[in-house]
Amino acid sequence: MKFSLFSSLAVAFAIATVSAAPIEKRATDNNKVVGYWVPWGDVPVADLDMTQYTHINYGFAVLYKGAAAPTTITFDRYYDGTPMRALVQQGNAAGVPILMSIGGWTGSQTFSDVAANASMRATFINNAMVFVRNNTLPLYADTPDGWNMDGIDIDWEYPGRAGAICNDYTPQDAANYLILLQELRAQMDLEFPTIHKYLTAAVRVQPWDGPNGPMSDVTAYVQYLDWISIMAYDIMGSWSNTTGPNAPFNNPDSPGNPYSFVQAVTAWKSAGWPLNKMVVGTAFYGRSLTTTVDMDTQNPVTMYVPHTATTPKGGPADTNDVNFYCNEGAVYSGLWEWKELRTGPLAGGPTTPAAGWTRYWDNGTSTPWLFNAATSMFISYDDIESMTIKVNYVKAQGILGVMLWDMSYDYNSELITVLNTVHCGSDCPTPPVQSSSSPAQPTTTVAATTTQAPVTTTTQAAATTTTAPASPSSTPSNPGTGQCAGVAPWNAATTYATAGTKVTYGGHLWTNQWWTQGDTPTTTAYTVWTDNGPC
């Protein structure tokens, strides 16, 4: 049983030319700190510190080909309604607007088809409006006709470009997206003439792709969006020829992936996107690879070295489950949440590697990395120091704010605290855009190391495309308590004929109470699956 929103109601359109003023629930904040909250993260809504965010995006509602129609908006499979209601309630109480994020890495399969067709756009928009409408049905209705959210975040990955292998895309996507945004904005303003519902978009490090690649002029889109959130992460990883930074501030030495925080801001700005409608994304996680060289004995030291084809298991929560919405193979992501780093390779402190690990600072990217000679594992990640450099840049440039993926990855609020230094008004200081003074040498090390020469700068290839996956992604991650060892993940196609059969799902162990097939494990009343708790 999959919970989905679908309505065949006809939608009347009227193009509103003027949007009502946005409601700033946290009126004192001039800068945004936008967090993504996901139901498979292991931080329940009740445990969130709402004072750390100005806006929260719920990820995700998805468009996928297995749904009733291309326009059907399906909640992420971990959905049971409860966290969404709780988040809206808590957001309202704290003055933090809650937006529904539609799409994501595996949830963008039919955007291209929907955007291209006027009738499908109308149906999709009506379905999307359910998130921002007020519910008129009983409070705990299974299919409320409104979720009373404050806006919609469109996370189409990506218009005009292949993202996940299940997506449709055409060179006309960006042109159609403009119409979709215009019509969605108009419908929001029509239904809420005195309330401004937010409309935002998650975007990659280059402007949307037109028929000839990244567009040189995106000014036509600006009026419809409150801001774009640039996913300035997932820059290098298993898809790259060499190891490299996950979320570089700059990336001058990369052999072929010139993308970075600064490059992304510059690219969008050059295409006409205003800085005061720009939120730049940060990664509260790192990515790991297995290298084929000993990075501790290189001379000179570089973070760009060959790696094996197979991505290793990252932190304890990393799984190689096949993604329900789009089968891209049973592979690990290699992802390390900040809290996993801080309770593992960096357990001794934010810059103190545990035994076996060496921490390096890469001056070119202004990011740290770790290497473990025994396992040949390389991890590129962000820490307090690298986040501070990014936030200072945002303030110095007058950029609207920062976004983070995702809210469950932090450790003792170490990183979110840095992001919150972004707040300032007209008196915003102008800190220098820093780069660390240290070359690529171990900054702290347990193992004895020899002195290394600084990184040499190589000429970067002028690559203009990348197929790097970009979060916000729908990749689940599960906590690891052990009880799921050896238990197969739930599969929509499998028949579970015997009561008491164990499956894993959403990081939990579940058992069925009767014959079932195709029923997503949820904790909603009267469902076949019983939740036996976290794995």
Ligand X SMILES: *[C@@H]1O[C@H](CO)[C@@H](O)[C@H](O)[C@H]1NC(C)=O
Give the footprint of ligand X on this chain (CB under 6 A).
Answer: 117, 119-120, 134, 148, 241, 255-257, 363-364, 435, 439, 454, 461, 463
Asked if 522 and 508 count as a contact pair (C-beta separation under 8 A), the reply is no
Residue facing ligand X at closest CB distance: 256
Integer Cα distance of 287 and 289 in angstroms? 7
8 A C-beta contact, residue 1 and residue 519: yes
Rounded CA separation 205/251 (Å): 13
Helices 261-270 and 384-397 sit at what angle, rounded to 10 degrees? 20
Q: How far is the CB of 273 from ligand X (least distance, A)?
A: 25
Instruction: Say how far apart CA 381 and CA 158 lie, in whole Å.
Output: 24
CB of 303 to ligand X, least distance (A): 13
Rounded least distance, CB 475 to ligand X, Å: 22
User: Looking at beta carbons only, is 150 or 382 nearer to ligand X?
Assistant: 150
Nearer of residues 216 and 435 to ligand X, judged by Cβ: 435
Please tell me the number of Cα atoms within 13 Å of 115 on its side-chain side. Answer: 26
489-493 LR contacts (CB < 8 Å, sep 24+): 489/321, 489/322, 490/520, 490/521, 492/324, 492/517, 492/518, 492/520, 493/517, 493/518
Q: Could you give the CA distance from residue 379 to residue 320 in angstroms, rounded to a whole number?
A: 18
What is the DSSP track for 245-259? Answer: -SS-S--TT-SS---
**CB nearer ligand X, residue 90 or residue 511:** 90
Cβ-proximal residues to 275 (8 Å cutoff; 6+ apart), any chain: 265, 269, 397, 398, 399, 400
Is residue 487 helix, strand or coil?
coil
Min dist CB 117 to ligand X, Å, is: 4
Contact status, residue 104 vs residue 476, Cβ threshold 8 Å? no
Which CB, 207 or 237, lies closer to ligand X? 237
At its nearest, how many Å lie between ligand X and the CB of residue 56? 16
Shortest distance in whole angstroms from residue 359 CB to ligand X: 17
Q: Which is nearer to ligand X, 74 or 110 (CB)?
A: 110
Indicate the residue among 132 and 184 with the shorter CB distance to ligand X: 132
Least distance (Å) from ligand X to the CB of residue 69? Answer: 7
Tokens 């809210």 belong to which residue? 407
Number of Cβ within a 10 Å radius of residue 310:
11
Closest CB 462 distance from ligand X, rounded Å: 10
Closest approach, Cβ 345 to ligand X, in A, equals 25
For ligand X, the closer of residues 88 and 166 by Cβ is 88
Identify which of residues 222 and 461 has a Cβ nearer to ligand X in the complex. Answer: 461
d(CA 53, CA 448): 41
From the list 52, 40, 38, 102, the residue with the least C-alpha distance to 402 is 52
Which CB, 206 or 363, lies closer to ligand X? 363
**Bridge pairing between strands 32-37 and 55-62:** parallel
Q: Which is nearer to ligand X, 430 or 467 (CB)?
A: 467
CA torsion sign for 466, 422, 50, 28 is negative
The distance of closest approach from Cβ of residue 116 to ligand X in the complex, given in angstroms and rounded to an integer, is 7
